[in-house]
Amino acid sequence: MNEQKQLLILSEDILELPDPNLALDDPDGLAAIGGDLSSERLIHLYQHGFFPWYSESDPILWWHPSLRCQLNPNKFHCSKSLKKHIRKFSGQIRVNTEFETVIKHCAQLRLEQEGTWISDEIISAFIELHNAGYAHSIEVWQDSRLIGGFYGVAMGRFFFGESMFSLEANASKLALYGLCENAKALDIDYIDCQVESEHLMSLGANLVPRKRFLQQLQKAIPKADKNTNLINKVLLAIN
C-alpha cells in the first residue's frame, strides 16, 4: 500500500528530516515548507538531497524531485565550439576568490531574465555557508575580470550546483568543464544539477531516479563532511 503524499511543515528542530518518498507529485518533489536557512539546517538537508527553491514573497520551500538531474564529471559533453574556445582561453579558473560576487551576479542575471529565487535571504545564508566551508564558487577570470562561473554546496564526494552566470560567451560552460576536469583531484564523483533543463542535458547530464540518488548520497556522504579539497584549491587546471 502506497504511503500518502504529504507536505511537511518544518518545526524549529534543525535536524527534522522530511521523508523524500512522501514528496508531492504535483508539483513534483515539493517536500516541506518553512523552517529557516541556518547553516546547520542547510547542511543537514543538503546531506539528504533537499534544496530550497522559492520566490521572495513565498515561505521557504524544500524540494526533492522524483528524477534528479545529475552530471557525471567523466561524461561532460564538450562540443566542437567549446573545445575551440578552451584552446583559445588564456585566463584562469579559480575557486572561492569572489564567492559573494559570484552569487550576486547569479541573482542579477536571473532577475533580468525570468525573475530570481536568489533573494537577499538566500544570499546571506549561502555566504554564511561559504564561511563555514560548505558553499563554493567556481570562477572564470580573464585578466583581472570575473567573466562567469557558478556556486554550489560540496559535501563528501557530491557537488550540488545552484546557479550559473556568464558575462562573456561560454564562460559558465568553461567553469563547469574546469570542475569536471579536476573532479578526480577534488574527490568529486557526482555533480547534482537538481532540475532538468535542455542546457544541462546538452552538456551530458542525465536523470537519476530518487531511489538511486538516495543510495548515492548514503555512500558518498556518510556524514555531513565538507569537501576540504575545494577549500584548499585556488586554481583549476584545464587541458
Q: Which domains does the chain have, with CATH numbers?
A: 8-66 (3.30.70.3550), 69-236 (3.40.630.70)
Question: What gap in Å lies between CA 232 and CA 210, rounded to an integer?
Answer: 32
Reference 134, options 71, 223, 212, 57; nearest CA is: 223
Report pLDDT digits (tens) over 76-94: 998 899 999 999 999 999 9
Residues 193, 69: Cα–Cα separation, whole Å: 5
**Residue 125, CB-side half-sphere exposure with 13 Å CA sphere:** 19
CA–CA distance from 114 to each of 39, 123, 130, 197 (Å)? Answer: 28, 18, 26, 15
| Among 168, 125, 107, 148, residue whose Cα is nearest residue 37 | 125
Counting every residue written for the chain, the total comes to 239
Rounded to 10 deg, the angle between the 120-131 and 39-47 helix axes is 80
- Give which of 178, 186, 195, 193 is closest to 226, Cα–Cα: 186
pLDDT computed for residue 55 by the predictor = 87
CA dihedral (190, 193, 196, 202) positive or negative? negative
Structural Rg of the chain based on CA atoms: 17
Is it the case that residue 113 has pLDDT exceeding 70? Answer: no
pTM above 0.85, yes or no: yes
Q: Which residues pair with 109 in a beta bridge?
A: none
* pLDDT value of residue 1: 44
Angle at alpha carbon of residue 18, lines to 35 and 6, rounded to 5°: 100
Q: Averaged over 29-41, what is the pLDDT?
A: 97
Q: If you average pLDDT over residues 2-25, what whole number do you get?
A: 91
pLDDT tens string 189-228: 999 999 998 989 999 999 999 999 999 999 999 999 999 9
